[in-house]
């Protein structure tokens, strides 16, 4: 099979030759205009794959490389000995993960992306034209997404999926989306597992928007499995290799490597994850500035250093601190104690558009979520997730909702709360 590197060599496209411009792009043809020799060159189709996507993959690769290198000191290993076509499964740690993964692969890929990007206006129109992402609704049974993926791979295309469905919050790979292994089994194509290391410290999910840190980030394929290999495996066996290959414990690795991730604002945004004061156990009283998180109730504080470690409290890592507060929350669920998210806004999502429902303080109990005069029984919620730092997404039997809070507030606690309520109910069954 021809690959993009061969096509680039045939076209003799220098690394940064912006004098060559695209003269025509449509569904049938892609042409490059070469100002050096004043002739047009046809970009050949690769085994029925998208010529447009091939074109933009080749065009934007040097841009992605430059961003990854300058912003993150990113290093990567090229994928070799690949199946004819495949699905790439990667862990998810930064908003730049599609760039990180893409640099390891010469051939084009379609990426599965969250539905919320469809509301980015003109930016989504550009992304959709250039990359044609496969849209996935978080917190829903994504049957349409599965069908889109299967259609792509059965036409010989390659697809990249971030198997956790969300960026992890505390440095440890989140649970893989259920039924991922069944999807791989049904696709009847190859599988490439991929792991990104160091991304959690370079761009923590809880950090303020744009607050990235330039430190070691590395990405590489972990396993390459042919469709023949996968045909011999059960769904459970495929699930095990996915979990094994994608698992990353950022703090275990950092304890050995001790890489620096400098930032003047390295703790800012941590209240998006941490909702309990580790000193006095007060709810929603934390605020972050520069490298320090302070409680307005007791005045206690702790710091976050360049190595991602905490000081001033008994917990040395964000993971340990998060596990402690999750334990406290589980006790509160058991005792029926409600949690509140002030100044929340509730929306329904219809046809990729948000429709305002109501505003006010949101409350969650073991039975309901209530905001203003709207009450949603937890028993009607089929799934729940997050996008961004402060937006909760959930689907019910009737609607698809977003629940947002302003900067400085926390919505992760609602997701954790419902998780423990669900686990408690399942234990009783």
Buried b vs exposed e over 25-38: b needs ≥16 C-beta within 10 Å?
A: eeeeebebebeeee
Element (H, E) at 328: helix 318-334
**Segment among 103-107, 305-309, 311-315, 369-373 with least mean pLDDT:** 103-107
Architecture of domain 339-428: Roll (2.30)
Tell me, yes or no, if the pTM score tops 0.75.
yes
The residues spanned by each domain of the chain are 50-257, 270-334, 339-428
pLDDT digits (tens, 9 = 90+) for 191-241: 999 999 999 999 999 998 788 999 999 999 999 999 999 999 999 999 999
- Per-residue pLDDT band for 33 (boundaries 50, 70, 90) equals very low
Which residues are within 8 A (CB) of 76 and not within 5 positions of it... i.e. 6 or more apart?
68, 100, 103, 104, 218, 219, 220
Please give the radius of gyration of the chain, using alpha carbons only, rounded to the nearest integer.
Answer: 23
pLDDT in tens, 173-185: 999 987 899 999 9
Closest CA to 362 of 348, 377, 343: 343
Q: Binning pLDDT at 50, 70 and 90, where does residue 141 land? A: low
SS (H, E, C) 133-168: CEEECCCCCCHHHHHHHHHHHHCCCCEEEECCCCCC
Cα-Cα-Cα-Cα dihedral of 68, 74, 75, 81, to 10°?
-50
The mean predicted confidence, pLDDT, of the chain is 86
Q: How many angstroms separate the CA atoms of 402 and 341, rounded? A: 14
Question: What is the percent of the chain with per-residue pLDDT over 90, rounded to a whole number?
Answer: 69
């Amino acid at each position: 099979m021809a690959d993009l590197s061969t096509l680039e060599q045939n076209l003799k496209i220098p690394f940064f030759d912006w004098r060559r411009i695209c003269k025509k792009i449509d569904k049938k043809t892609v042409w490059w205009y070469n100002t050096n020799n004043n002739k047009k060159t046809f970009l050949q189709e690769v085994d029925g794959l998208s010529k447009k996507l091939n074109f933009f993959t080749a065009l934007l690769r040097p841009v992605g490389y430059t961003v990854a290198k300058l912003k993150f000191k990113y290093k990567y290993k090229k994928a070799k000995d690949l199946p004819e076509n495949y699905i790439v499964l990667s862990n998810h740690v930064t908003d730049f993960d599609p760039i990180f993964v893409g640099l390891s692969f010469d051939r084009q890929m379609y990426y599965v992306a969250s539905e919320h990007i469809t509301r980015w206006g003109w930016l989504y129109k550009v992304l959709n034209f250039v990359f044609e992402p496969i849209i996935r609704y978080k917190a829903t049974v994504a049957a349409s997404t599965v069908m889109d993926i299967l259609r792509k791979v059965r036409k010989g295309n390659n697809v990249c999926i971030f198997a956790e469905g969300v960026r992890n919050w505390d440095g440890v790979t989140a649970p893989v989306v259920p039924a991922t292994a069944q999807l791989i089994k049904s696709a009847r194509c190859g599988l490439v597992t991929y792991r990104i290391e160091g991304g959690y410290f370079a761009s923590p999910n809880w950090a303020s928007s744009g607050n990235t840190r330039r430190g070691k980030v590395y990405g590489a394929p972990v396993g390459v499995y042919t469709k023949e290999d996968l045909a011999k495996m059960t769904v459970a066996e495929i699930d095990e290799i996915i979990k094994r290959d994608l698992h990353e414990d950022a703090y275990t690795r950092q304890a050995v490597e001790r890489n620096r991730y400098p930032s003047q604002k390295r703790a800012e945004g941590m209240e998006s994850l941490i909702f309990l004061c580790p000193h006095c156990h007060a709810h929603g009283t934390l605020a972050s500035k520069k490298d320090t998180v302070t409680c307005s109730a007791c005045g206690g504080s702790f710091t976050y250093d360049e190595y991602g470690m905490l000081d001033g409290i008994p917990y040395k890592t964000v993971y340990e601190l998060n596990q402690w507060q999750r334990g406290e929350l589980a006790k509160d669920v058991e005792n029926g104690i409600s949690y509140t998210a002030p100044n929340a806004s509730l929306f329904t999502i219809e046809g990729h558009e948000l429709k305002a429902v109501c505003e006010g303080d949101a409350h969650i109990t073991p039975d309901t979520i209530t905001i203003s005069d709207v009450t949603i029984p937890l028993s009607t919620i089929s799934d729940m997730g997050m996008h961004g730092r402060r937006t909760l997404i959930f689907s019910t039997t009737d609607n698809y909702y977003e629940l947002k809070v302003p900067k400085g507030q926390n919505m992760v606690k609602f997701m954790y709360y419902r998780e423990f309520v669900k686990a408690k109910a399942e234990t009783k069954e």
